[in-house]
Structure formats: structure tokens, C-alpha cells
């Protein structure tokens, strides 16, 4: 059975706010651009080095006065060619770096989306508390009038008037405090959506629908292993380190160089000679083997480091999923108990105490205690509702997907 809170149609939908956060939040945009930068570098890493073009115009002295020097012009091109496999491994390493950057972008998007959800639900939570406090403030204002009228008619005590005044001031303070909290939440939402700091959000906001989680803990853990961006990033880092090892081993292999030169000979003291051509092949031999040896050893150690970090990340994600799932179940259960068991009793007690005091058969302190119990029950219920959606949003971040779409996906898979 789901606990559903009813409210008027929201002024701004949560989906629109989440879309705006993804499109405008600077942190999300920075992560997106970083991913695109590394992705572009991956393609560039597989391209050969630029060829070298050369041109020279020489004048060789004849050694005799009055004799023109011999002129020569030469045109050349040379190309360095890395050993086969070096560039492809460089590109493969960059591809894995791009996948790591993409996972970081997804993680940032999930983080900002979760923060936006929490702030929106917090605003709704504060809206309901403000309405509740204002209603209770109006009720206490009427109660204060009753106590003053009784005191004037010598049927009441001055202490009842003072207690009613104190309770009314406390409720006024509560209204002011919740309104200030709401303004702070609006500022945080402005920052998340990259809006001007002075922008206000009149509401109403969407009210959460609290229902049972669609998956049990083993299913949530399995979903997190395939969807959590941090686990995916750790696996990409392992593949990156393996490509690094393959690239380091190729440091033992030589690189090549090809060159072609065409030379002309102009007129001079010794006449005009034929044009000449020259083909060249060079070989860059890794004579100092200490460099590739150390690079290979470092890459091999990096694989073990990445594997250990991946296992550590997996354990941390599993722990967080289990903890957030426990928190969701805890607060959801408490919210339902307050809704079904505590609020009806608190409201009945308040109505009874009010009726007895109004009819002159009850004690004013008993009425105040019943009123405080009723207010505290509503405040506690709102806190449990907020903590449920708060930990639900955190759970979605650690799982790596929106859990509201999971039941449909499961049915489609079946």
C-alpha cells in the first residue's frame, strides 16, 4: 500500500526542473565538455606525426674571382612512422580516458539531479509546514480571544491568557522560521539551475508519492553493479591500465623514418649537372632499455592498483546502496505509522480537548498539550516524508538509474 499525499497541481513540474538542471548547471556542463575534449583527443592520438617539408636554395662558391657560384635547389619531405601498435594503443588509452570522463559526467548528472529533487521536495515540505503553522496560528488567535473573554467575565485565569499568548508567539516564530528556511532552499535551487540569486519560486511544488521500493536489496545491488558510474569508471580504469601496459612494452620496439629529397643543379663555373634524387630510411633504436623497463613495471603495478580500487569502489557502492535502502524503508514505515496510527489519535485528542475547554469542562493546559502533540505529529510526519524521498534520491544516485522506471523495464524484459 502506498502513502500518497494530495495537493494542488504544481506550478513547475519536477521533470522540467531536472531538465533545466542538466542543461544549465555549470558543474554538469563542465563535466560534459571535459568528456568531449578527451573523446576528441582519442581520435587525434591515432594519427601519424606530421610530415616535415623542406626547401633549400644553395649557392656554392666556384673559388675564382668573377665566376658565378654553382646554384642548387633541393626539395624534401620526411615522415616519422611509429612502430605498429604504438599509436593504436595510445588511441585505446585515450578511448578509455574518454569512457572514464563519460562516467564522471553521468555521476555529476545524477548528483545534480538528486540534489534538485531533494530541494524541490524540501520546498514542498516547507510549504506544507508553513500552511499548517499558519492555520494553527489562526486557531490560537481565536483561542486567545476566548481566554481573554473568560478572564473578563471572571470565569478564567490570567495564566490561561499568558499561556495562550506564549503559544501564539511560538507559532508565529515557527511560521517565520519556516519561511526563512524556504528562502534558503530557493537560493540553493537558483544555484543548481543557474538562475539569478534573487529569483523566487512561488510553488506549489510536486508532492512526493511514497511507495514501496520496486526492487529488493539483491536486485538493487545487481542493478548498481551495471549502472553505477563510479563502478563503470573503475572498470574503464582497469582497461586503461592494460592498454598502458601494452603500450609500454612497445617502447622496446624501434620507430622508423622515411625521407625523399629532390635536388637540382643550376648553371655555374662547372656547367649544369643533372637533377638528383635521394631516398632515406632511418631507425630509432631504444638503446637505453631502462626507460621501457621502468614504464612496463609501472604499468603492471598500475593494473593491480586499478583492480584493487575497483573492488574497493564496488564494496563502497554496495554499502551505500544497502544503507540508503535501509533508510528509505525506515522512514517510509515511520511515515505510514504516523499517518495511520498517530495523526488520527492526535487529532481526536485535540478535538476533544478543544470541545471540553470551549464548553467550560476542560483545563486549558490540557488543551495546549493536545495542540502541541497535534503540531508535533504533523511536523514529524513531514520530516519522515522528506527523509524518505531524500534517501530515495540518494539511493537512485548510487544505483545509477531512476527507480521509478524500473518496474516498466522489468515487465518489458519479461
Give, for 376, the enclosing helix (H) or strand (E): helix 364-399
On whether residue 65 sits in a domain, the answer given is no
In a domain, 413, yes or no: no
- For 84-122, write each residue's pLDDT tens digit: 998 999 999 999 999 999 999 999 999 999 999 999 999
Q: What is the model's pLDDT at position 62? A: 61
* Residue 387 belongs to some domain of the structure: yes
Cell of 380: 514529524
Condensed to tens digits (0 to 9), the pLDDT of residues 351-365 reads: 998 888 877 777 888
Bridge partners (DSSP) listed for residue 281: 258
Residue 245 is assigned to a structural domain of this protein: yes
Find all residues with CB under 8 Å of 50, minimum gap 6, and list them. none
Residue pair 321/391 in contact (Cβ under 8 Å)? The answer is no
Angle, CA 306 vertex, CA 300 and CA 311 arms, to 5°: 135
Phi, psi of 266 (to 5 degrees): -90, -175
64 domain-assigned: no
The residues, ordered by sequence, that sit 6+ positions from 57 with a Cβ below 8 Å of its Cβ are: 71, 72, 73
CA dist list (Å): 332 to 329, 340, 346, 363, 384: 5, 12, 20, 36, 7
- Say what the pTM is: 0.82
Task: State the Cα–Cα distance between residues 193 and 26, nearest whole angstrom.
Answer: 9
Read off the pLDDT of residues 365-386 as tens digits, 9 standing for 90 and up: 888 899 999 999 999 999 999 9
Is the pLDDT assigned to residue 151 strictly greater than 90? no
pLDDT of residue 102: 95
Pick the residue with more confidence: 209 or 399? 399
Cβ atoms < 10 Å from Cβ of 222? 12
What the block records as the C-alpha cell of 172 is 508565529
Q: Residue 127 belongs to a domain with what CATH number?
A: 1.20.1600.10
pLDDT class of 348 with cuts at 50, 70, 90: very high
**Using 50, 70 and 90 to split pLDDT, how confident is the model at 414?**
very low
Please give the tally of structural domains in the chain.
1
Among residues 327, 321, 298, the alpha carbon closest in space to that of 400 is found at 321
399 domain-assigned = yes
Domain that holds residue 404: 3-58+70-266+273-408
User: Which pLDDT does position 361 carry in this prediction?
Assistant: 76
Residue 94 lies in a domain: yes
Regarding beta strands 3-4 and 276-284, do their DSSP bridges make them parallel or antiparallel, or are they unpaired? Answer: unpaired
Q: Is 63 inside any structural domain?
A: no
Q: What is the pLDDT of residue 412?
A: 41
Amino acid at each position: 500500500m502506498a502513502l500518497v499525499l494530495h495537493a494542488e497541481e504544481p506550478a513547475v513540474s519536477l521533470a522540467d526542473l531536472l531538465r533545466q538542471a542538466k542543461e544549465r548547471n555549470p558543474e554538469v556542463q563542465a563535466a560534459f565538455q571535459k568528456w568531449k575534449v578527451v573523446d576528441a583527443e582519442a581520435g587525434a592520438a591515432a594519427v601519424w606525426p606530421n610530415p616535415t617539408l623542406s626547401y633549400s636554395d644553395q649557392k656554392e662558391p666556384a673559388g675564382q674571382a668573377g665566376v658565378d657560384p654553382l646554384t642548387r635547389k633541393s626539395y624534401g619531405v620526411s615522415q616519422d612512422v611509429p612502430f605498429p601498435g604504438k599509436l593504436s594503443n595510445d588511441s585505446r588509452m585515450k578511448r578509455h580516458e574518454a569512457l572514464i570522463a563519460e562516467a564522471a559526467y553521468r555521476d555529476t548528472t545524477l548528483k545534480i539531479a538528486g540534489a534538485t529533487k531533494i530541494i524541490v521536495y524540501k520546498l514542498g515540505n516547507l510549504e506544507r509546514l508553513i500552511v499548517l503553522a499558519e492555520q494553527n496560528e489562526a486557531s490560537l488567535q481565536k483561542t486567545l480571544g476566548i481566554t481573554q473573554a473568560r478572564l473578563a467575565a471572571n470565569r478564567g485565569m490570567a495564566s490561561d491568557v499568558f499561556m495562550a499568548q506564549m503559544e501564539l508567539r511560538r507559532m508565529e516564530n515557527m511560521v517565520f522560521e519556516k519561511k526563512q528556511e524556504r528562502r534558503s532552499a530557493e537560493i540553493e535551487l537558483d544555484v543548481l539551475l543557474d538562475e539569478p540569486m534573487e529569483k523566487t519560486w512561488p510553488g506549489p511544488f510536486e508532492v512526493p508519492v511514497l511507495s514501496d521500493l520496486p526492487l529488493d536489496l539483491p536486485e538493487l545491488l545487481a542493478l548498481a553493479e551495471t549502472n553505477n558510474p563510479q563502478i563503470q569508471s573503475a572498470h574503464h580504469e582497469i582497461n586503461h591500465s592494460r592498454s598502458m601496459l601494452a603500450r609500454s612494452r612497445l617502447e622496446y620496439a624501434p620507430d622508423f623514418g622515411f625521407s625523399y629529397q629532390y635536388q637540382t643543379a643550376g648553371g655555374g663555373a662547372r656547367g649544369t649537372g643533372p637533377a638528383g634524387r635521394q631516398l632515406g630510411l632511418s631507425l630509432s633504436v631504444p638503446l637505453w632499455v631502462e626507460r621501457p623497463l621502468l614504464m612496463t613495471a609501472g604499468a603492471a603495478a598500475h593494473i593491480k592498483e586499478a583492480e584493487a580500487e575497483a573492488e574497493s569502489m564496488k564494496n563502497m557502492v554496495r554499502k551505500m546502496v544497502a544503507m540508503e535502502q535501509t533508510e528509505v524503508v525506515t522512514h517510509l514505515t515511520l511515515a505510514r505509522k504516523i499517518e495511520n496510527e498517530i495523526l488520527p489519535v492526535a487529532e481526536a485528542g485535540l478535538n476533544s480537548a478543544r470541545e471540553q475547554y470551549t464548553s467550560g469542562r476542560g483545563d486549558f493546559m490540557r488543551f495546549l498539550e493536545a495542540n502541541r502533540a497535534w503540531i508535533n505529529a504533523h511536523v514529524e510526519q513531514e520530516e519522515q516524508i522528506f527523509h524518505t524521498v531524500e534517501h530515495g534520491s540518494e539511493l537512485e544516485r548510487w544505483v545509477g538509474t531512476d527507480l521509478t522506471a524500473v518496474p516498466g523495464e522489468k515487465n518489458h524484459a519479461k
